Structure 1
């Protein structure tokens, strides 16, 4: 007996549909437009996809992208502030809402175009191969961006330090994060780099930052007086947080100076604001030191000549 063969599973195939878009009854613009509108471009399995479906699907996709952007923006600017959501969380929720609505728009556009989900099975291997060779970094950065938005190791407005460079997070995009330094220069950093490397978030868990100013005074200076003057310079600055403890430390006997460090807490708005507060404290320290005759030394070298032996002097002249 011969075993009955089972039919092989059909895979979606694309095949053009034979159709005359113009007809043979003469030129009729309305009829021509109708025939073009209903013209079948290709077949996916048993489903024929017409020009009208493609056009409507594109319009649906464009409208979906615009609607997703509008809804996410309105929610981020009007709804979330009323719920007292902070700026960083609001930015993350807005981005997640936008990507969710965008995915819904894509699925609706595919349904309108009549493209079945089995098509993704047909192209799955090709897409995976493309991702492996050419789109690996893009996909990695996109996934890293979603992780950043969900876990929020950094948020928009945070003061961060990356590779010894300080800046304020301005935007967390799908591929990269934008950070602005105190010079106003925007540095674009791939999202995957942020997750794979050490990042210091100065505003985590709060926006309060411990800062410090280092100064050296001449040997022989009154160290108790220096300590009082440094404390005065810090406490006179209205941007220093008085509810947090500040400290003045005698840190080192350097080659030509006694080194002091003053530590204090501030709440800067951005990188430039932090540097400005530290600069004003240094100005005040210089004024107080001048008033109380405290000297700030500078490196110097002493040269001693031995006079117990004659000095050999040579005159260089032109030969010949």
Structure 2
């Protein structure tokens, strides 16, 4: 897991990293793997459906892949943002489309949290989708405002233990990935903190900057710039090791919460009705694109380390994640709505 990114507003920053037609048309793109190095994808057109607005990693990653398909092979590839109900509207749209492999769902942990958050999503999160590939993942940062008296994660945890309820954290909404990340942190740290939900990651981080909450757990890419600009303090990184971009920021385990790890992951799914041979071919096509140097570099710039693999590997991750979020929800009393 790793790396990088500048700050705010989040949407503008991520969009700045999206490949432009001019960049893709430049000689460097063709040189970063000539067309002949990868076979032409099997389908003539692709539609990537994203359950959240432009600016998030699921959207940015889908656009990067779509741009590669369009510019490299002249194929039709579009990205559709179908927002609402925690990404479940987008999932339903993919299930309603022809199961020919041409319509893919770009997902994040929100896809796996849905069963724990919504009483009736209208589909089975695992059974109704076929994994194509994991795109990659990245760690989170636990950030705090400068007015927090605690100067380290250990000191903040000590405060939370000695004064239950004295800490609050912001999240991108009840049942969001940031809510689950903080709920698990509180469980493992042995503290009782209050969730203050907002409508987006951007709003949640803004509350930390303003000092109205004591901490937030954000994708590394969303908070690193704020830390570097001195607008918030990084208490810990949630990966298993420190990141090279911030070598002085300890892991959560090093900072006093052993065993706590969290990552934000991203991947591609299709309808489970898609023929197995088509899914296999899609996996080859998409992992081939993710292996291109320019694509990997662009994802690294978004804070995502490419971890493309086979459908079965991604299925195992999804199964484990759904089970994990169910456990976290039960312990945190997150009741499906």
Report the TM range for the smaller structure's normalisation.
Answer: under 0.3
Q: Which has the higher contact order (CA 8 A, sep 6+)?
A: 2
TM-score, normalised with respect to structure 1? 0.19
TM-score, normalised with respect to structure 2? 0.18
Q: Which has the larger radius of gyration?
A: 1
